[in-house]
A and B are shown apart, each in its own frame.
Chain A
Amino acid sequence: MTTRPADGGDLVAAPPTGSTAPRGTPVAPAGHGPPGVRRSPARRRRRMLNVVAIVLAAIWAFPVYWMVNSSFLTFNRIRSPEPTFVPVDGTLAAYRRVFDSDFLDSLRMSMAVTLITVAAVLLFAFLAALALSRFRFRGRKSFVLAVLVIQMIPAEGLFISQFKLLEGWQLLNSVIGLSLLYIAGVVPFTIWMLRGFVAGVPRDLEEAALVDGCGRAQAFFRITLPLLAPGLVASGVYAFLQAWNEFTLALVIMTRPENMTLPLWLRTFTDANRASDWAGIMAGSALIAVPVIVFFLMVQHRMASGLTSGAVKG
């Protein structure tokens, strides 16, 4: 919805600022008073609002810009009393320093946890969504309700006993242990999201394929799966974002420095270099953020609309 904003005439003068002219229409409709008397103050107000919007945009984008900008600066530029607003004589040295740290080990750790989480979540959520939308059975409604409530359970309310649980199973500091918690955290929302997609695939279509001589498996792979692809992609990216960004549980479970995921790595790297190397810290942040921003832009419209049909866990 964000990339496809309503066109000019969609909302007529809804804002409380009290503009009375229809937006974006160069020709004032008849009955709106003589043009030039009412239109020009409205136009001036609109221009002013445009400026406000651009200023707000600058404020919101500035930290992201500042991260990228700072990551290219030399020591001297970073530590000068006057900030450098564009990366003049930029350098990639900060990125080299990041790769010289244990960044790559953490990257490997993060990728392992994320891959396991995404794969398991997609499989489990798909099966559950199938059950919920294709079968009527006892406990169905309570399961859906439970799924909705469960996804709101905050890690902050449960991490003490989750720590004890994994400790008891000898799974502290293990990829499997952390992934298990992530899967449980992400699977409820993806079930809720996929349920709608599965329900959207008409049964008749599958049955028609069966009548036409497809086997069950063939009907599934040829008809159902392609129709579900967008939902699976969205759920997969959602699971990726959650596992890649998660901090609290990783902090609790991965207590050994050699098992840090990327967010944990960034925290220790920041603490170690705060006094000396903000360019390196910003380079590390940028390396973690860029893949996320790319993926996020792919699914953002679904995340936003998921709000009214399900919750996006924060």
Chain B
Amino acid sequence: MPYLLLAPALAVLLAALGYPLFRQAVMSFQEYGLAQQFGQPPEWVGFDNYTRLLTDSYLWAVIARSIGFCLIVAATTMVVGVAVAVLMTAVSRGARLTLQIALLLAWAMPHLASLTVWQWLFDAQYGVVNWLLTRIGFEQFAGHSWLIDPLSFFVVAGIVVVWMSVPFVAFAVYAGLTQVPAELQEAAAIDGASARARFRLITVPLIKPVLLIVGLLQIIWDLKVFTQIFVLQDAGGVTRDTNLIGTYIYRLGLGEGQFGLAAAASWFILLVTVGLSLYYVRILVRDDEELDA
């Protein structure tokens, strides 16, 4: 009976995730290019795809870029998010509600819509960002195009990702902060602990599990960032200099038809995220008693 109930969900998962996973493994050991796309049987090539990728300095550049972008953006998000959460505990009710509503709006925006709005904000000619910068004295930003230079491309992409991700971090950490028992703080205050010491010695250890989970999720999400980069590349970025691992695989596979190579490259993103998620799942499951029943 339970197996019957599980069957539909299991069938979908196997068809749409399990089989492609298997297929991807097979394809990564095959020569699977445009010729195969038009009916020629794929040829087994062993580890050729992997050696080709691993000896390709461009792939390494893309990976390094992805990891760098991921770490910087995830760290910024965490710092800003935690700061906002702490701020929420320190301000008056009205200010807190205003801040929470604003964060919710940003969080609720569909990614494509917010990306589009940010393109408009950073528009070279009529964008409000350039207008503001010019207004406060940086004349060089009049008509400045942000996306052409790879570095400022990633600054824009980073700002967009941080803007989208901070609300989640702020709410999660704020929820954790409100769980810290007030008595503990009071007791420490009576014992003469300074506010700084109380934060470091009481609050931080108590919200550490939340910080860990949220931080891990940020790293997982920022590593596989695709939509933001892809759309901004469309909007005027130099593809070759701004590819991250997700867009690289897309262009390799669906752009150039090198499916075998792309499948091999996919394993990188897959293994790293699944590795990180196993750790995440372990934290989640550790305090789920129902599971052990």
Contact = CB atoms under 8 A, between A and B. Distances in A.
Interface of A: 1-3, 5-6, 8-20, 23-24, 46, 49-50, 52-54, 56-58, 60-61, 63-64, 66-67, 70, 78-83, 120, 123-125, 127-128, 130-137, 140-141, 143-145, 148-150, 152-165, 180-181, 183-185, 187-188, 191, 199, 244-245, 247-248, 251-252, 262-263, 266-267, 270-271, 274, 278, 281-282, 284-286, 288-289, 292-293, 296-297, 300, 304-305, 307-312, 314
B6 A127 contact: yes
B120 A66 contact: yes
29 contacts: A1-B175, A12-B189, A13-B198, A14-B90, A14-B195, A15-B195, A17-B90, A17-B195, A49-B95, A50-B95, A57-B103, A61-B101, A63-B117, A63-B163, A83-B128, A131-B5, A153-B273, A158-B266, A160-B259, A161-B20, A191-B9, A247-B112, A271-B234, A278-B120, A281-B116, A288-B113, A304-B172, A308-B210, A311-B284
A199 B289 CA distance: 12
A199 B101 contact: no
Interface stretch (B49-57, B148-156, B218-226): B218-226
A135 B1 contact: yes
Given A5-B93, A67-B117, A164-B20, 11 more contacts: A10-B182, A53-B99, A56-B102, A61-B101, A63-B118, A64-B117, A66-B117, A66-B121, A124-B8, A152-B280, A248-B246
A78 B175 contact: no
B109 A289 contact: yes
A148 B117 contact: no
B180 A11 contact: yes
Given A163-B254, A266-B113, A285-B113, A157 B217 contact: no
A34 B101 CA distance: 37
Interface of B: 1-3, 5-6, 8-10, 12-13, 15-17, 19-21, 23-24, 27, 84, 86-114, 116-121, 123, 126, 128, 131, 163, 166-168, 171-172, 174-175, 177-178, 180, 182, 185-186, 189, 194-196, 198-200, 203, 209-210, 213-214, 217, 220-221, 224, 226-227, 230-231, 234-235, 245-246, 249-250, 253-254, 259, 262-263, 266-267, 269-270, 273-274, 276-278, 280-281, 284-285, 288, 290-293
B234 A267 contact: yes
Contact of A148 (B92, B209, B285): B285
A270 B10 CA distance: 39
B112 A266 contact: yes
Contact of A79 (B94, B126, B168): B126
B100 to A, nearest CB: 5
B178 A10 contact: yes
A61 B105 contact: yes
Contact of A15 (B86, B262, B270): B86
A17 B163 CA distance: 24
Given A2-B171, A11-B178, A50-B91, A61 B270 contact: no
A180 B217 contact: no
Contacts of B131: 81-83
A304 B174 CA distance: 10
A148 B186 contact: no
A18 B90 CA distance: 10
Given A50-B92, A180-B15, A67 B20 contact: no
A187 B15 CA distance: 13
B290 A18 contact: no
A163 B163 CA distance: 31
B213 A307 contact: yes
A134 B126 CA distance: 60
A78 B118 CA distance: 15
Contacts of B16: 162, 165, 180-181, 183-185
A248 B226 contact: yes
A1 B20 CA distance: 39
Given A5-B100, A19-B90, A153-B270, A56 B108 contact: no
A278 B5 CA distance: 50
Contacts of B213: 307-308
A144 to B, nearest CB: 6
A8 B180 CA distance: 14
B148 to A, nearest CB: 15
A289 B97 CA distance: 22
A157 B268 CA distance: 8
Given A145-B281, A247-B111, A158 B171 contact: no
A60 B105 contact: yes
Given A53-B99, A83-B128, A266-B116, A124 B9 contact: yes
B114 A144 contact: no
A245 B112 CA distance: 7
Given A52-B87, A64-B106, A124-B12, A278 B123 contact: yes
A36 B126 CA distance: 51
Contacts of A284: 116
Contact of B270 (A83, A154, A262): A154
A271 B115 CA distance: 13
B110 A289 contact: yes
B117 A154 contact: no
